[in-house]
Structure 1
């Protein structure tokens, strides 16, 4: 091992590779012309199943007539109304009190339809 305090000269190494220490030559030529890229933005595909339908009308494009619409909403009896009715029967309320969920819109499902072509475009189920 080499000791820096010693007066001995460190050993020299010889390389047999002829490319070491050779001049590299000129750098590669670069094209100075500017290139422009054309980016085409397509309209994203909207999946209407991912739209969040609620109790309020939704602005969307109708899947049937392709019109930009604000949906019409109406209420239909759904699973939640039936579950609430059966629960009221088991609680012991009278026969007529268990029919209240079928009369209250907050217990019913909301159906969204197109005002132009009257096609059902979505549904909000209280129990999913």
Structure 2
């Protein structure tokens, strides 16, 4: 029998970097080389407060004072939904307006007692 070896597969006898994009054949920079700097920033979480029905102690973002928010009520989505549900049920002779008189159906607006700016809102729906 003849001990003939098969030829090597193509590509093994090619010079280094042959057939690769031009940026891949360069050696890596030595350790300690002043290269590019990567800056990572964290997202800013603006409102960590849970606004509910009562005032919240916080620092006002506008006037920077430490405050307990004052609250007021405004008509919101839940108020209108309750009005329409009451009207559909059959209480349309003025009874459907009751949600507009009940603070428990309205949204709560939190404001700074110093600068009077709105700082938060509690939407019931």
Residue 52 (structure 1) aligned to one of 50, 53, 58: 50
Question: 1: CA distance between counterparts of 2:81 and 2:66?
Answer: 36
- Matching of residues 30-41 of structure 1 within 5 Å: none
Corresponding residue of 2:74: 76
Matched, 1:116 2:104: no
Among residues 73, 81, 95, which one is paired with 2:93 in the alignment? 95
SS in 1 for 2:119: strand
Helix, strand or coil at the partner of 1:86: helix
The superposition leaves residues 16-46 of structure 1 with CA deviations (integer Å, 9 ceiling, x where unpaired) of xxxxxxxxxxxxxxxxxxxxxxxxxxxxx98
Q: What is the alpha-carbon distance in structure 1 between the residues aligned to residue 123 and residue 52 of structure 2?
A: 9
State which structure, 1 or 2, has the greater radius of gyration over its C-alpha atoms.
Answer: 1
For residues 116 and 124 of structure 2, the distance between their equivalents in structure 1, rounded to whole angstroms, comes to 22
- Displacement of 1:106 in angstroms is 0.2
With over 3 angstroms needed to count, the CA separation of the structure-2 counterparts of 1:91 and 1:115, relative to structure 1, is same
- With structure 2 as the length reference, what TM-score do the two structures score? 0.63
> Unaligned stretches of 5+ in structure 1?
1-44
Inter-partner Cα distance in structure 2 for 1:51 and 1:58: 8
2:124 corresponds to 1:126: yes
Q: Provide the residue aligned with 1:85 in structure 2.
A: 83
Secondary structure of the 2:47 match is helix
Match of 2:32 in 1: none
Provide the aligned length of Structure 1 versus Structure 2: 83
Q: Alignment RMSD, CA only?
A: 1.6
1:50 aligned counterpart, secondary structure? coil
